[in-house]
Structures are given as structure tokens and as C-alpha cells.
Chain A
């Protein structure tokens, strides 16, 4: 444990020293992963998948608010879909607009989450987001999480519809539209994922705010169990044919990542809890103070054991 804490302090010290460069670099890296995932999932347009476009967009995202990254990701995905089917691209634009006007614009500070959820689905760790946001955010985070899930399933339906090579006659456009809406509107997997993610985020949030020892870790554990049970029950009652083993494995991986992230964010020493009581004119206070675990990172000292040549020669004289 001490070694881990030393490592944490060492990492923190390094980050403090390079923070000014690290932040845009991390944003650039995250943006690159998002654009790369979009291109790998629906790379219909060769120009948009080219490296200069990806690097340029990532560079712009690195130095601008996360809303710009979301806008660029949306624009690139629409560009890909439109180059395959104009009507599908139009529908996706309308759905993006509905999501923005009615939901995501209320949580601009969490706009990165909307883009992150589909990417994490592709990376097979989607349950990481509701668990983490339950710890670090507020219940309002369910809005971008739900929108992210909707966008992921939107892409899934788009991939299926585009594989039918839709034409441009009125009848074909109408049938594509119907196919899309039917596939999207009756997607039980999507509704189940939105419901379970919402439940996980809220439960993790409320348990982590509960004043008990190891509350944050209990919240991660309970959130993970609710996640598995939610998908299991959905599978049973909605006949979805989900791969429950994959859900369990992905939940465990997500929980471990959240656990590690939380360890670096905050580690408390529950063996040294202090309880104090005092009063002022208006209130009587019962305070429970939990100290943060801290160890000083060992500093490397360089000791010179050979004297400089000039000094030696001076001594000889």
C-alpha cells in the first residue's frame, strides 16, 4: 500500500510540473481516440478518415472547450453517413438537433461524456462512465450518459440500414426512413441500457455521499452489482439474448478502472477517523473528519564524491 501511495505522489508531482502541457496533450489524445473510433466504425468517406483531417480536428479540440470536440465528432459522423445516404444523414442531423435542444444543452460541462459513451462501448468498457460519474458528478449526469447511449445505438442502426445500399427514389427514401425509425424506436437494448445506466449512476452517487467508512468503494461495488443485475433482469424479462458473461467481465474491468481512478483522485485513511462535537450560536455540530492518506515521495539526491580537477590542482600548488 505504501508503495502505491508513493507511486501516486510521484505521479502527482510529475503532473503538477507538466500540467500546462499535459492538459492539451491529454485532450488531443482523447479527441484522436474519439475521431479514430468514429472513422473505424463508419469510415464511408475517405477524405474524413485521412490522417491530416483527424490530426487537425484533434488539434483544434485540444485547445477549445469540450463542446467543440462534440460538435466536430457529430459533424464527422454526419459527413460519413451523408456520403453513403443523404436521407440517413439528414435524419441523424435531426436526431442530433433534438438531443441537443431538449437534453444535452443543459449540461454543457459534461458534453465530452456524450462522445465518450459510444467510444467506450466500442472499447468494451461502457460501464466505466456511469460508475465514475456517480462518484465525481451530480445526478444531472444521467442526461449526457443517456444521450451517449442513444447515439451509440443510433450508429448501430445506421450501420445496418446503410448495408442495404439505399437508393434515392421517394419510395426507397421512405422505406429507409421507416426501417431506421423501426430499428431505432423499438430497440429494447437501448432502452434497457439507458435505464440501467441511470440506475447505476444514481445509486453510486447516493451511496458515495452516504457518511460511512469506505463509502466510495462500497458505492463502486454496489453500482457494479446493480449493473449486472439490471442487465440480467432485462435479459430475462425482455428476451434480449444478451451475453451476460461479457456484461459481467466488462463490469469487473470497468469497476477496476474506476477503483484505480478513484485511488488516484482520493484515498482516505479510515483507521484515523476523528469525531468532534462543538456548538456555535445557531447549531450544534457533529463532525467526522477522515484524514487523506499521504506519504512524501522520496527525493533523489545526487551526491558528488569526486572533487573537481581544478580544486585538486589548486590544493597541490
Chain B
């Protein structure tokens, strides 16, 4: 006979599993590995983005560059680029670490809840097996 309570519980588990696929993937990593991996990824992408911005600036100033090629303060320009890059890196690194840490702890909390529910289901099956054996 169908057990409505069990079906409802299993459906809930299946829906949670489907919705939170990402959480299973995230908790497959150690916390530090997950944060480090995202930090590296973000910094690479931001570096490319920052390089593209400077490429556009360089193209914009191209005629001024050819006009004053000898009088440009290259050291100052380089310093400006590096300081800007460091600021951008710091901002993105802080953001990336915070977001990754929050995401990981959320996924971890979900997994704990999910495991607890699985244990409830397991206990239900054990109980049912016992009653079947007694019958």
C-alpha cells in the first residue's frame, strides 16, 4: 500500500537534491580549496578585464602618444597602471573570498540538513524491516 507520508518526504528530498545540485558540487571541495580556486579564477578574469580597459585607454591616447613620444613620463604611467591594478586586485580578492566563503557555508548547511533527512528516511526503512520480520 502507498505510504503518503513517505512519498511526501522522498519527494521533498528529491526536489531539494535537484534544486541544490550546485551545493553538492561545492561541498565536493575542501573549504580552503574552493575559496582558493575561485580567487584564482576571479583574479585571472579581472586581470584580462583590466588589460582590456588599458588597451582602450592606449588606443584613445594613440595620437597624443605619437605627438609627444619623447616627453611622456613612462615611469609615472607605469606606476599609475600598477597602483590601479593592485587596488582592483584587492577589491576583487576581498569580494571573491567573502562570496566564496558565504556560498560554501550555505552549501555546507544545506548538505547537513539533507543528510539529517536521509537518516530519518533510513530509520523509517529500518523500522519497516523490523515490523515486516515480526509479521
Interface of A with B (CB < 8 Å)? 91, 94, 97-98, 101-102, 105-106, 174, 177-178, 181
Once the chains bind, are B55 and A177 in contact (CB under 8 Å)? Answer: no
Q: Which of B53, B59, B99 contacts A106 (CB 8 A)?
A: B99
Interface of B with A (CB < 8 Å)? 45-46, 48-50, 52-53, 55-56, 59-60, 62-63, 99
Once the chains bind, are B56 and A181 in contact (CB under 8 Å)? Answer: yes
Q: Supply 15 further A-B pairs (C-beta < 8 A) apart from A102-B49, A102-B50.
A: A94-B52, A94-B55, A94-B56, A97-B48, A97-B52, A101-B52, A102-B45, A102-B46, A105-B45, A106-B99, A174-B59, A174-B62, A174-B63, A177-B59, A181-B60
| Chain B positions within 8 Å of A101 at CB level | 45-46, 48-49, 52
| Chain A positions within 8 Å of B99 at CB level | 106
| Chain A positions within 8 Å of B60 at CB level | 177-178, 181
- Chain A nearest CB from B91 CB (Å) reads 10
- Chain A nearest CB from B41 CB (Å) reads 10
Q: What are 29 inter-chain pairs, A to B, with CB distance below 8 A?
A: A91-B56, A94-B52, A94-B55, A94-B56, A97-B48, A97-B49, A97-B52, A98-B49, A98-B52, A98-B53, A101-B45, A101-B46, A101-B48, A101-B49, A101-B52, A102-B45, A102-B46, A102-B49, A102-B50, A105-B45, A106-B99, A174-B59, A174-B62, A174-B63, A177-B59, A177-B60, A178-B60, A181-B56, A181-B60
Which interface residue of A97, A102, A105, A106 has the most chain B CB atoms within 10 A? A102
| Chain B positions within 8 Å of A181 at CB level | 56, 60
| Chain A positions within 8 Å of B59 at CB level | 174, 177
| Chain A positions within 8 Å of B56 at CB level | 91, 94, 181
- Chain B nearest CB from A105 CB (Å) reads 7
| Chain A positions within 8 Å of B46 at CB level | 101-102
- How far apart are the CA atoms of A91 and B99 in the complex, in Å? 31
| Chain B positions within 8 Å of A106 at CB level | 99
| Chain A positions within 8 Å of B63 at CB level | 174
- Chain A nearest CB from B92 CB (Å) reads 8
- Chain A nearest CB from B123 CB (Å) reads 23
- How far apart are the CA atoms of A105 and B48 in the complex, in Å? 14
- Chain A nearest CB from B103 CB (Å) reads 11
- How far apart are the CA atoms of A98 and B50 in the complex, in Å? 8
- Chain A nearest CB from B55 CB (Å) reads 7
| Chain B positions within 8 Å of A94 at CB level | 52, 55-56
- How far apart are the CA atoms of A283 and B19 in the complex, in Å? 30
Q: Which residue of B lies closest to A181 (CB)?
A: B60
| Chain A positions within 8 Å of B45 at CB level | 101-102, 105
Q: Which residue of A lies closest to B53 (CB)?
A: A98
- How far apart are the CA atoms of A102 and B53 in the complex, in Å? 11
Q: Which residue of A lies closest to B59 (CB)?
A: A177
| Chain B positions within 8 Å of A178 at CB level | 60
- How far apart are the CA atoms of A216 and B61 in the complex, in Å? 49
